[in-house]
């Protein structure tokens, strides 16, 4: 394993962003250190970004929700003159391995989705204030905002030049947000995405590529007025003092195993399997809101979500040859459900709601992880409510049936809760159970009628269809071993394609289009010589020579 990419950061370590807080308004300045690339071999000129820049942005967006709940509007603007953002760094992309490019795009998409949803979910509206050139991924940063203000001058423009310049696609949702979110007419979108120089001034406003066009003389005043207006619109109950997201405690062993207070990751490189075990809460649920706020980021529901999130990102970027992720759990289901029930009952409180919303995002991260996912529901397991969602997110699940010889832990069970029927929708806007039982509302209703029951294997597998297979102690080890060996033997490419297609049954949304359609095409294009071959456009960018294309359409 090469350089380990660490997703843990905090404001004291930021190199590329700074935030100024003024009551309900925060201003987020993108001021990229061109010598602060995550890897050697390129400079981040013109506010271009790499994964390291986006790791900081993801941390800022997360902290904005938890540490600054008083914020109602966030203004995103450049800290440099004459440029907003030049997008993803082209030299970095040209150097990167295929998997690194794809994983980078996926992470940036997830980050954009997080602040895009912050307005409707958390009352934090993002406003892009564009002065200077705003190209490619820079415009995609703006597209994920709720409102875009463009300076009306000769230097300020918006552009998605990836197709004509680089022979790739806008990789962070640009094509989809232009049509689906901003409702740009598709023929005009075709023109926009085909011109290198982009669009500026009145045309950008007429085509709905921006929301406001403002002269430089009134630009700062308009941005301030709009931020105050959006902050005043906030309808959520007034938030109290934020909580500190304290540094994650993580130990990494030389063999790659990870240990957090509530999550353990065991790596088996020979089998190409990583096992993630979530340990249920040791302490009782908070007695009241004061106790929840006092516990802050140490409360189990938030701590476990943060640890799982970090573990998933670590496996995605640093353990590319581990093709299977096994989810396990241990603990007291009743105690976990008490923690969850407390939050569900207190959603008028900003912190309780934010913790549930964080779980929603982490579970979506699970859905989007291109590894084979399997849940093993063993004796003593804690697949209840929120953690049961991991079993429903898995491509397959295996449940231990009855008592196992020599094992004195409680018989394996699944316990459903209200959390399985609404708070954690997938990208298709359905719950995981609705997706599992697509078109079969009776099956969902039958499961919902059993909320609160500890369902053992016969009920969970045969009556309700909540798990794939139930196995007794005679067959358990052999069946699991054969499955894991078989899964690891298949083509990783075929598995990624099959799993991504099967996981997102049902209606298409902007989010599923971004991940399932746009990302899939970009994945393919990133392997084609027209883009990444020695004479491809991405490789030749900046040399003064155009790419040479294989003209055959596929």
Predicted local distance difference test score (pLDDT) of residue 504: 87
* Whole-number CA gyration radius for the chain: 24
More confident residue, 542 or 158: 158
Where do we find the tokens 């918006």?
158
CATH topology of domain 11-232: 2-enoyl-CoA Hydratase; Chain A, domain 1 (3.90.226)
CB atoms within 10 A of CB 161: 19
- Residue 480 and residue 478: Cα distance in Å, rounded? 6
pTM for this entry: 0.97
- Residue 102 and residue 545: Cα distance in Å, rounded? 25
All residues at 6 or more sequence positions from 370 whose CB lies less than 8 Å from its CB, including other chains:
316, 496, 499, 500
Q: Average of pLDDT values for 9-14? A: 96
The residue extents of the domains of the chain are 11-232, 263-498
- Residue 33 and residue 42: Cα distance in Å, rounded? 12
Q: Map residue 159 onto helix, strand or coil.
A: strand
Reported confidence tier of residue 235, pLDDT bands at 50, 70, 90: confident
- Residue 465 and residue 443: Cα distance in Å, rounded? 8
pLDDT, tens digit (0-9, with 9 covering 90-100), for 107-130: 999 999 999 999 999 999 999 999
Q: Average of pLDDT values for 61-78? A: 97
Name the phi and psi angles at 338, rounded to 5: -65, -40
Would you say residue 10 has pLDDT above 70? yes
Average pLDDT, the chain: 95
Predicted local distance difference test score (pLDDT) of residue 2: 66
Burial level of 554, CB count in 10 A (0-12/13-18/19+)?
A: exposed
Alpha helices by DSSP H, 326-349: 333-345
Alpha helices by DSSP H, 195-331: 201-206, 216-232, 289-295, 300-318
Predicted local distance difference test score (pLDDT) of residue 238: 65
Predicted local distance difference test score (pLDDT) of residue 441: 97
Say if residues 50 and 38 touch (Cβ distance below 8 Å): yes
Predicted local distance difference test score (pLDDT) of residue 519: 87
Two structure tokens written together for 305: 């979500």
User: Residue 76's beta-bridge partner residues?
Assistant: 28, 128
Predicted local distance difference test score (pLDDT) of residue 161: 96
Would you say residue 491 has pLDDT above 70? yes
pLDDT, tens digit (0-9, with 9 covering 90-100), for 177-190: 999 999 999 999 99
How far is it between the farthest Cα atoms of the chain?
Answer: 79
Q: How far is the CA of 90 from the CAs of 46, 171, 444, in angstroms?
A: 11, 12, 47
Two structure tokens written together for 189: 């979108």
In terms of Cα–Cα distance, which of 165, 139, 9 is closest to 78? 139
Name the phi and psi angles at 404, rounded to 5: -100, 135
Q: How far is the CA of 493 from the CAs of 459, 489, 497, 500, 526, in angstroms?
A: 35, 12, 6, 11, 14
Q: Average of pLDDT values for 307-312? A: 98
Would you say residue 267 has pLDDT above 70? yes
DSSP 410: P
Reported confidence tier of residue 1, pLDDT bands at 50, 70, 90: low
User: Residue 22's beta-bridge partner residues?
Assistant: 25
User: Residue 199's beta-bridge partner residues?
Assistant: 158
- Residue 323 and residue 308: Cα distance in Å, rounded? 18
Reported confidence tier of residue 3, pLDDT bands at 50, 70, 90: confident
Q: Map residue 276 onto helix, strand or coil.
A: strand
Predicted local distance difference test score (pLDDT) of residue 480: 97
CA 496 to chain centre: 17
Would you say residue 70 has pLDDT above 80? yes
Which of these CATH numbers, 3.40.1160.10, 3.90.226.10, 3.30.2290.10, 1.20.1260.10, describes 263-498? 3.90.226.10
In terms of Cα–Cα distance, which of 339, 490, 537 is closest to 419? 339
Reported confidence tier of residue 361, pLDDT bands at 50, 70, 90: very high
Q: Average of pLDDT values for 212-219? A: 98
- Residue 403 and residue 401: Cα distance in Å, rounded? 7
Q: Average of pLDDT values for 31-48? A: 96
Name the phi and psi angles at 486, rounded to 5: -65, -45
N residues, the chain: 554
- Residue 42 and residue 95: Cα distance in Å, rounded? 9
Where do we find the tokens 């799982």?
308
**Taking the alpha carbons of 508, 112, 313, 32 in that order, is the dihedral positive or negative?**
positive
- Residue 304 and residue 312: Cα distance in Å, rounded? 12
All residues at 6 or more sequence positions from 229 whose CB lies less than 8 Å from its CB, including other chains:
none
First to last CA, the chain: 36
Predicted local distance difference test score (pLDDT) of residue 237: 65
Say if residues 57 and 104 touch (Cβ distance below 8 Å): no
- Residue 551 and residue 554: Cα distance in Å, rounded? 9
Strand-pair category, 263-268 with 273-279: antiparallel
CB atoms within 10 A of CB 232: 10
High-pLDDT (> 90) share of the chain, %: 94
**Taking the alpha carbons of 176, 181, 182, 188 in that order, is the dihedral positive or negative?**
positive
pLDDT, tens digit (0-9, with 9 covering 90-100), for 384-402: 999 999 999 999 999 999 9
Say if residues 384 and 336 touch (Cβ distance below 8 Å): yes
């Amino acid at each position: 394993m090469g350089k380990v990419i660490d997703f843990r950061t905090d404001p004291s370590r930021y190199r590329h962003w700074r935030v100024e807080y003024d009551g309900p308004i925060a201003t987020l300045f993108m001021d990229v250190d061109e010598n602060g690339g995550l890897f050697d071999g390129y400079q981040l000129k013109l506010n271009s970004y790499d994964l390291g820049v986006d790791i900081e942005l993801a941390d800022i967006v997360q902290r904005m929700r938890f540490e600054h709940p008083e914020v109602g509007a966030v203004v995103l603007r450049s800290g440099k003159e004459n440029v907003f953002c030049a997008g993803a760094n082209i030299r970095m992309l040209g150097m990167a391995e295929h998997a690194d490019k794809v994983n980078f795009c996926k992470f940036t998409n997830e980050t954009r989705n997080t602040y895009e949803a912050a307005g409707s979910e958390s009352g934090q509206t993002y406003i892009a204030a564009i002065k200077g050139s705003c190209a490619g991924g820079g415009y995609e940063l703006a597209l994920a905002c709720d409102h875009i203000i463009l300076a009306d001058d000769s230097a300020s423009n918006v552009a998605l030049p990836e197709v004509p310049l680089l022979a790739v696609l806008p990789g962070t949702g640009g094509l989809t947000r232009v049509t689906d979110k901003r409702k740009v007419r598709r023929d005009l979108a075709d023109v926009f995405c085909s011109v290198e120089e982009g669009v500026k001034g009145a045309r950008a406003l007429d085509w709905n590529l921006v929301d406001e066009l403002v002269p430089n003389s009134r630009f700062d005043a308009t941005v301030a007025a709009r931020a105050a207006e959006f902050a005043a619109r906030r309808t959520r109950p007034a938030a109290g003092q934020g909580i500190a997201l304290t540094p994650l405690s993580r130990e990494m062993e030389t063999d790659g195993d990870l240990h957090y207070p509530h999550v353990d990751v065991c790596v088996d490189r020979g089998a190409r399997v990583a096992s993630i075990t979530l340990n249920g809460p040791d302490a009782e649920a908070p007695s009241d809101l004061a106790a929840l706020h006092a516990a802050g980021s140490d409360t189990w529901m938030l701590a476990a979500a943060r640890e799982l999130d970090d573990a998933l990102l670590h496996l995605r970027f640093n353990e590319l040859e581990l093709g299977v992720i096994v989810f396990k759990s241990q603990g007291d289901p009743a105690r976990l459900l008490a923690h969850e029930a407390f939050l569900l009952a207190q959603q008028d409180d900003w912190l309780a709601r934010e913790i549930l919303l964080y779980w929603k995002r982490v579970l979506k991260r699970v859905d989007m992880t291109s590894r084979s996912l399997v849940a093993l529901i063993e004796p003593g397991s804690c697949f209840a409510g929120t953690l049961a969602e991991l079993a429903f997110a898995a491509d397959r699940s295996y449940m231990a049936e009855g008592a196992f010889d020599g094992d004195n832990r409680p018989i394996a069970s699944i316990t459903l809760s209200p959390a399985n029927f609404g708070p954690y929708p997938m990208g298709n806007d359905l719950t995981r159970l609705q997706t599992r039982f697509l078109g079969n509302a009776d099956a969902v209703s039958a499961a919902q009628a059993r909320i609160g029951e500890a369902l053992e294997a016969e009920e969970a597998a045969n009556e309700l269809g909540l798990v794939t297979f139930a196995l007794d102690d005679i067959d358990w080890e052999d069946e699991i071993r054969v499955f894991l060996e078989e899964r690891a033997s298949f083509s990783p490419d075929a598995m990624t394609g099959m799993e991504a297609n099967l996981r997102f049954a049902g209606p298409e949304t902007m989010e599923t289009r971004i991940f399932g359609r746009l990302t899939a095409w970009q994945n393919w294009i990133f392997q084609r010589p027209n883009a990444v071959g020695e004479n491809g456009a991405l490789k030749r960018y900046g040399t003064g020579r155009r790419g040479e294309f294989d003209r055959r359409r596929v």
